């Protein structure tokens, strides 16, 4: 947040409709078609079921209103179209009011494989399905309320909790094995395969204090993933004093980064 972007937000018309070009619809089609092929056996059952429940079209970019209708019926959430980048205050306030901010642009064909900032495909395909799950929705709501009440210096630490769960979380159960649920994993064909199949990253049992002490980088495949056993775990975290956890994490001290400094990175 706060960084520049080359993308321009799509502004809804007076009826709340966002107009996309044929090429933008085609990019959506290509992205969703290939992700649907790679996710079976890799995304968790809750995500697969929620994706089917959402009924996203393959041939066009869905409108936020049609996604919101499904979310409202199940958990009371809705989607709010926003510019490519918003600040922490706006982000937390939207989540605190059960409104998920969705960047309204879609990536260019030159950045099909990797996009640092979130686009409409990442937001809608990656994030919104699980907002139909009451446990996941409760966690996201609690996170937003905590962020809205947090001090400025606490917000970057709180962002780690979101990063290692909502964005890049994994889940392991006896009936399925290791699966993905985080939006940054399920919306990226490269990270889907890397997160689940590669021997390179660490996969650590989820512990909120451990998560809050772990640095991350946004421009690389993750060297560390945290693994929950059930979405009940996230619901339990939603009942905790998240700002109090930040103070405990700060007292324990931060972990050393598991990645090289950005300027020294080669990948």
Is residue 8 assigned to a domain?
no
Q: Is residue 7 part of a domain?
A: no
What is the model's pTM?
A: 0.93
Which residue range forms the structural domain that includes residue 43? 22-264
The answer to whether residue 171 is domain-embedded is yes
Q: Is residue 1 one of the residues assigned to a domain?
A: no
215 within a domain of the structure (yes/no):
yes
**Domain count for the chain:** 1
- CA 147, chain centre distance (Å): 16
pLDDT one-digit tens code per residue, 73-122? 999 999 999 976 789 999 999 999 999 999 999 999 988 877 778 899 99
CATH of the domain at 94: 1.10.800.10
Q: Enumerate the active-site residues.
A: 122, 127, 167, 187
> Of 262, 187, 184, which Cα lies nearest the Cα of 225?
184
Q: Report the helix count and the strand count for the chain, using DSSP H and E.
A: 12, 6
* Maximum Cα–Cα distance across the chain: 53
Where helices occur in the chain by DSSP H, the ranges are 22-38, 45-54, 64-74, 88-96, 120-121, 134-149, 155-162, 183-186, 189-197, 208-212, 231-238, 242-252
Sign of the Cα torsion 219, 252, 244, 140 reads positive
pLDDT digits 0-9 by tens, 124-161 = 999 999 999 999 999 999 999 999 999 999 999 999 99
* Domain-located, residue 37: yes
């Amino acid at each position: 947040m706060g960084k520049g972007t080359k993308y321009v937000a799509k502004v809804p018309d007076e009826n709340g409709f966002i107009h996309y070009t044929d090429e933008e619809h085609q990019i959506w089609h290509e992205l969703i078609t290939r992700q649907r092929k790679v996710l079976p056996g890799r995304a968790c059952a809750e995500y697969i079921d929620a994706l089917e429940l959402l009924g996203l079209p393959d041939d066009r970019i869905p409108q936020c209103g049609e996604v919101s209708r499904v979310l409202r019926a199940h958990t009371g959430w809705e989607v709010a179209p926003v510019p490519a980048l918003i600040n922490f205050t706006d982000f937390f306030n939207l989540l605190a009011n059960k409104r998920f901010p969705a960047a309204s642009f879609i990536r260019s064909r030159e950045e099909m494989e990797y996009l640092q900032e979130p686009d409409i495909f990442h937001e809608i395909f990656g994030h919104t399905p699980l907002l139909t799950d009451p446990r996941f929705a409760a966690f996201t709501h609690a996170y937003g309320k905590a962020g809205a009440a947090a001090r400025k210096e606490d917000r970057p630490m709180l962002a780690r909790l979101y990063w290692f769960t909502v964005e890049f979380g994994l889940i392991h159960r006896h009936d399925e094995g290791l699966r993905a649920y985080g939006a940054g994993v399920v919306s990226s064909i490269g990270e889907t395969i890397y997160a689940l199949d590669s021997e390179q990253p660490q996969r650590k049992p989820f512990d909120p204090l451990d998560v809050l002490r772990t640095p991350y980088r946004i421009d690389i495949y993750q060297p560390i993933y945290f693994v929950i056993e059930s979405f009940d775990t996230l619901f339990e975290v939603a009942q905790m004093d998240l700002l109090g956890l930040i103070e405990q994490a700060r007292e324990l001290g931060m972990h050393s980064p598991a990645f090289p400094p950005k300027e020294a990175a080669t990948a």
